Structures are given as C-alpha cells and as structure tokens.
Amino acid sequence: MKNLSKHIFFLLALLCVAFTLMASAKATTADENATAVAQQSIVAEQPASQTVVGHFVEFIHTTGIAAADWRTLVMLVIASVLLYLAIQKNFEPLLLLPIAFGMLLTNLPLAGLFTPELFAGGQVHWELFRDGAGLLDFLYLGVKLGIYPCLIFIGVGAMTDFGPLIANPKSLLLGAAAQLGIFATYIGAIALGFLPREAASIGIIGGADGPTAIFLTSKLAPHLLGPIAVAAYSYMALVPVIQPPIMRALTTKKERAIRMKQLRTVSKKEKIIFPIVVTVIVSLILPTAATLIGSLLLGNLMRESGVVERLSKTVQNEMMNIVTIFLGITVGATATSDAFLNTQTLSILLMGVIAFGLGTAGGVLLAKFMNLFLKEKINPLIGSAGVSAVPMAARVSQTVGQETDPGNFLLMHAMGPNVAGVIGSAVAAGILLSMLT
C-alpha cells in the first residue's frame, strides 16, 4: 500500500509538472504570437502612407509625362502647328490634318501606337509583329506595301478630265518639262551628300504630287517619309504663294496677255481610248511606272466609260475618303523625333521648295521656247500648271493671267499641262525606281 501510495503521489507530481510546463509553453506561445501580431500591425501601420506614396511614384514612372523630353515637346508643338495650318489656314486639310494628328499620336511617349523597329532597314519584320505591334503599325502596311497611294490614284483618275490634254497634245510636253525640278533636285541632293535613293525621294517633291511622293519614298527611303510627306503637301498648299513670283519673273507683260483659241470638243470615244492606249504604251516602255499609271487610268476609264457609274462614284468619294484617313495618319506616324529633328529635315524642306520652283520654271520656259516655232502662240503661264497640283496650279495660271488681261480665260488651257503633270510625275517616279532598284 505504501508503495502504491508513493507511485500515485509520484504520478500526480509528474502530472502537475507536465501541466505546469504546458501552461508555461502556451503562455510563451501566446506572448510570442501577441508580439508577432503587434509587430505586424506596427509594420502594417508604419508603411501605410509610405506604400501609397510608393505606388504613386510607380504610377508616375509609368506615365508618358515621366518619359517625355524636350524632343517630344518639340514634335508635339510641330504637330500642333500643322493642325493649325490645316484647320485655320485651310492648307491641304484633307491630308495635312490626318498627317499632323498621326505625328501627334506617334510622339506620345509610351503609347506604343507606332514601332519604327518593325520596319527597320526598309524591310517589314513580320516576325516582330507577334510581340505587340501597335494599331498604326498595321495600318502603315498599306503605305509600306504601296497600297494606299495606288488606291488614291484610282480616285484621282476618276475625278480627272483628260479632255483638255487630248484636245491639245502639245500640253503633254509642258507637263513633262515641269518635271525638270525632280531631276535637277535629284542631282543637287546627291551633290550635297545624300544617297541616290534619298535624293530621288527628295526630288519627287518637285512634282507636287503627294501620293507619288509617298509611293516612291516608301520604296526608296522610308526613313524620310515623314519629312517628305509634310514638305510635299505643304508646298502643294502653297502653290498660290510660290508660283506667281516665278511666273511673273520669267514672262513679259505681252506674253502674259496672249490669248489662246478655245479648245475643240473631245468625243467620248477619244476619252475612252485614251486611258487604255496610254496605260499600254507607258507600261511597255517603263514597266516600273505601270502601278501608278495603271491605277490612275483605271479610275479615269471608270469615269469616261459611263457603264460603272456606281464604282466611279465610290472610288471618288467613300474609298478616297477612307484611304486618305489611313494614309495621312500612318504617314504622320513616321515623323518621330529621331526621324524629324535633324539638319537633314531642314535640307529636305529647303530642297523641296527649290524642286517645286524649278518645276514651275521648267514649264514656263518650255512654253516660251515652243513659241519660237509656233504660229499660234501659247501663253507661257499655262506651263507653270505642269506640276501636278490639280487643279490648283491651273487656277493660279488663270489668276496671274487675268492680272494682265481680266478677259483672258486660261483655266481650261492650263488644265492640259496640269493633268499631263499627273502622268509626268508618275512616269518620273517610274524612271527613278527603274534606275535605283
């Protein structure tokens, strides 16, 4: 019994010790947990304000404001000026407005709308499109692949009446002479250190034909597309400013007063045959011009045939409007700060206006030369319309002519060289493509 009592007492003592240890352990754990919770609450409370600030700082770093630099600001200002000229001054607004807005979009930091690396080296890097191309990258394919300018040419052809050219074939020579500015500027640009492909793209500004300039530049010097497109359409808008001083300087008052006989009536059959024959002849002689000439005269055939009036109206209106939007925005998107803000751009703008001036002078001087051999004299003013700014250049010829003789109506006579200039600039682009590709 004594031994049993001892064992029971010893067991009870062990149980007491065990319970004491367990209680102590629980208390320690509770204290540790309380301490940990307290520490966590302190940690949670202490950086609460710091975390908000940190997130705000991180947000600021993800905005375009943080990524902007002086070059970005300059490009945004240039885009805004072009928008002002398009909206307030009515400078070729149909294309200058979307070009300027495309320039605005592409220079918004971190927006990722246009990625020049996808078209580096003048090639389309298709494998990179999977890595996150922007909206304007996909739309730009229409420029890069030469689709938009050709669609524009179909619309231009559908809106053009080649009757004055058919009635007075001599005006084709005046349209050809006005391309002097293209080739003279090409030679001059090479002399100034530009590569032949770049020089050709700069020279084509002298044709005063925006779609042709875009088409040729996208093939030969795509890195210059932004400055050249802006120059081409700006100078087209400035035709009434640039041309008259040159026209007055190269002609006498007597020459400006020359009256020309009324043009003969052109039959429908002639107007239908003309686009077919010209397409075949030009394409056989100069295959590289077939794309632009074929597009232009397809549109004209739609107009003159009279059997596809619905198609003719569509290409003149809906198609032209849609393509103009896509063309303008994507061409403007190529005017990034790296491509635009350099001395090369200033050179392009300067040589562009020289090319335009030489083109105007070339047409006027050839008309004066032709008068040495013609019984029925040509008013030299219509030679200036050989640049293909249709119909603005023809209107300028009419305006300057009426300054000398208010009763002299040169508009329809000037339309001959004017529409010839459209063909001439496309042919000039084909010659340059043939030489350089």
Give pLDDT, residue 69.
85
Token pair 């220079």: residue: 107
Q: How far is CA 289 from CA 137, 285, 424, in A?
A: 27, 9, 10
Give pLDDT, residue 302.
97
Give pLDDT, residue 204.
93
Output phi, psi for 42, to 5 deg.
-65, -45
391: nearest Cα among 408, 425, 414, 410: 414
User: What distance in Å separates the CA atoms of residue 288 and residue 165, rounded to the nearest whole number?
Assistant: 23
Give pLDDT, residue 121.
79
Contacts of 118 (CB under 8 A, 6+ apart): 124, 125, 128, 129, 133, 137
Domain edges within the chain: 146-436
Tens digit of pLDDT per residue, the chain (437 long)?
445 444 444 444 443 433 343 444 444 444 444 444 444 444 444 455 567 777 667 777 677 777 778 889 999 999 999 999 999 988 888 888 999 999 999 999 888 888 888 888 778 888 888 777 888 999 999 998 889 999 999 999 999 999 999 999 999 999 999 999 999 999 999 999 999 999 999 999 998 888 999 999 999 999 899 899 888 888 888 888 899 999 999 999 999 999 999 999 999 999 999 999 999 999 999 999 999 999 999 999 999 999 999 999 999 999 999 999 999 999 899 888 888 888 888 899 899 999 999 999 999 999 999 999 999 999 999 999 999 888 889 999 999 999 999 999 999 999 999 999 999 999 999 999 999 98
Contacts of 313 (CB under 8 A, 6+ apart): none
User: What distance in Å separates the CA atoms of residue 209 and residue 386, rounded to the nearest whole number?
Assistant: 11
Give pLDDT, residue 7.
43
Give pLDDT, residue 342.
86
Q: Report yes or no: 282 and 293 within 8 Å, Cβ to Cβ.
A: yes
416: nearest Cα among 190, 130, 117, 166: 166
Give pLDDT, residue 15.
38
Give pLDDT, residue 48.
52
